Chains A and B, each alone.
Chain A
Amino acid sequence: MSIIPTTVPVPELGDDHRSTAPVKHVRKAFSNPMASLVVVLLTVLWTVPVLGLLITSLRPRLDSATSGWWTFFAHPHVTLSNYNTVLFHGGYNVSSGLFPYIMNSIAITIPATIIPIFLASMAAYTLAWVRFRGSDTIFFIIFGLQVVPLQMSLVPLLQLYSHGAHIGTVTVIPNLHLKGSLAEVWLSHTMFSLPLAVFLLHNFISQLPESLIEAARMDGASHLRVYRSIVLPLSMPAIASFAIFQFLWVWNDLLVALTFAAKTTASQPLTAQLQQLTGSFGSHLELLTAGGFVSIVIPMIVFFALQRYFVRGMLAGSVKG
């Protein structure tokens, strides 16, 4: 038995609508300063590393090489030159700035987020509303495929992309000559995302009011039309949750990019280049921290702007039964 309600509540961080007056009174009576102290302490501990990163990235090289970032408050010198160097110029055996890699990350992330949304919502609609023998079984198999760690797919997929697939002498899939192109990365991310995507969207789509879909069918709308003009627009909240999830996952990914994207300025994403820089800029903390901050600023914006959807997606994925 699960205590989690079937319709996922939308917990807005920090907003507690339910606290009615008497309950609030009870809560207040039992509130205690120790609790607040512990939470404040943990919050500070959790925030200080990011603060250190930000401050270091804004200090001149000499300052950050010879003193800790906490001395900044005594001697505040702010410069943006670290960002200029790390974004546009490189240096110290690094041929170019991070800017091209930001573009690569965007070029990888957008298709790798949009394509799974369509493929998964189509599949979820079919499994939920165009029911046929075995549709439930297929749904559970797809969900269960989360068991396959993507690590297991790396070598076989590499072989597939560079040689095609053969059983004996029969060519099952010809060599598509995708090796090293971004299509390889999009395709891989799409494949790996499908189990979770189908599961999340199925949960939502199967809860749409039956009367609505029945009525449209009665009026002679085909399934494809129902999907396009009813299911897709109504599923936007669930799609938004998944899209944020997938965006952050692809943007933050390192393993898939290292494995499938060619090792060039033209295709490696920000994470892979940043990983490289931890070696090249090892003794240039002011540049490494600026690069680090550049890499987290876009997910941060997405995260703080759409926190509510993100939380909902997370809850649906892990809590909802």
Chain B
Amino acid sequence: MTAGSSHVLAGLASDSAAKLWGVIEAVGGFLAIMAIIFFVAGRATGRLQRPLTVVICLGPAIVLLLIGLVAPAIRTMYLSLHGADAFGPDVHYVGMKNYSWAFTDPTTRATLIRTVLWLVIVPTAATGFGLLVALLVDRMRQGLQSLAKSLIFMPTAISFVGASVIWKYVYNYTDPRQPQIGLLSEVAIKLGWKHPPNWLLTSPVNTFLLMIIMVWIQTGFAMVVLGAALKSIPDEIIEAARMDGASGYRLFRTVQMPMIRTTLVVVVTTIMIATLKVFDIVYTMTGGNFSTDVLSNDMYTQIFTQFNYGRGSALAVILFMAVMPLVGYNVMRMRRDRAAR
């Protein structure tokens, strides 16, 4: 090892030590403050104790939620009715102009339509594959079963950026006369397609290729949750149905499907919410170019590249409006279940 590289390593080591010390300081400081508050408040007795507990325990969470989510949501709605420059002194009211821009500007309208397409295809495909595996995997040998489940579930732990790097490589384009590097092109050529396109630059196929990444990530989630729901169906019911001669698809449609319907809806809505917010995949793979842009990436571009806070905020509000019924449904279902308990 040369002197130069050991110098570099020493620099890295001291740098890392400084960062780790920063972490210890932050976490230690936080815990110390908590300990002091708990110690002081622990002295309080009698009538004061209860309200004090509520303030100490609930206060920080509520304050952070107000600052981090409630106030910003209101502020974003306000900004969406204003011009581009939200930081400057000349913020001016423009009414619904940002919204009418979002729905009439051809590029942005195409982005919205594309987002709807994501919203329909990704949850359907991911839930479908997840359900398929959950149904079929029971009929395999134990060892293989858990291996298959773990491997299909694995992408859930991978970051969208990491997944994008993985798939960028699968979609790699090389001149068809050269040896291929991308798996997709190789398979296409082997199947007899002489000149496969440059996948990521070719619309509309590129949008679907990006969707595959999201499906790849979300299928494991659907599989695990639906698998648990299928397992919670009492064995006696399945057995009785089998005695009556139901099997395969018929068993699924008439017995299993109705019993997991609630879970199925939850899985679909959860994946829909994740899909609506998806940003990293598009940002990393194409940057929203070549007709692949989606709502959440467009919002980021408007704010941080175009510096148009008004339009960016309007897109954020549209995203909010789209998420609301999905989460609202889940909240209502939960309240109903609680009441039924």
User: Interface residues, chain A, CB within 8 Å of chain B?
Assistant: 1-6, 9, 11, 13-16, 18, 20, 22-23, 26-27, 30-32, 35-36, 38-40, 42-43, 46-50, 52-53, 56, 64-71, 88-89, 99-100, 103-104, 106-107, 110-111, 114-115, 118-120, 122-123, 125-127, 130, 132, 138, 140, 142-157, 159-160, 165, 173, 182-183, 186-188, 190-192, 194-195, 198, 222-225, 227-228, 248, 251-255, 258-259, 271, 274-275, 278, 285, 288-289, 291-292, 295-296, 299-300, 302-304, 307, 310-311, 314-315, 318-319, 321
Contacts and interface: CB of A to CB of B under 8 A. Distances in A.
Contacts, number: 401
B203 interface: no
Q: Which 6 A-B pairs have the closest CB atoms?
A: A14-B146, A191-B68, A321-B337, A252-B159, A292-B165, A156-B72
B149 to A, nearest CB: 5
Contacts of A111: 23, 26-27, 30
B16 A255 contact: no
Main secondary structure of the interface of B (DSSP, over half): helix
Contacts of A160: 67, 72
Given A4-B262, A106-B23, 17 more contacts: A4-B229, A9-B231, A16-B138, A20-B235, A27-B139, A39-B136, A42-B133, A47-B151, A88-B12, A127-B58, A148-B72, A183-B26, A194-B64, A252-B160, A289-B165, A296-B158, A307-B153
20 contacts: A14-B149, A30-B248, A39-B133, A68-B182, A111-B30, A126-B58, A147-B324, A148-B73, A148-B320, A155-B313, A156-B79, A198-B61, A224-B41, A228-B38, A258-B304, A275-B280, A285-B169, A295-B159, A315-B224, A318-B225
B152 A42 contact: yes
Given A106-B20, A224-B42, A274 B161 contact: yes
B8 interface: yes
Contact of B70 (A31, A145, A159, A258): A145
Given A43-B152, A49-B167, A319-B225, A222 B42 contact: yes
Interface string B84-110: 001100000000000000000000000
B161 A110 contact: no
A109 to B, nearest CB: 9
Contact of B129 (A14, A30, A42, A153): A42
B76 A119 contact: no
A118 B72 CA distance: 24
Interface size range on B against A: 35 or more
B12 A100 contact: yes
B79 A155 contact: yes
Interface string B129-165: 1001100111110101111111111111111111011
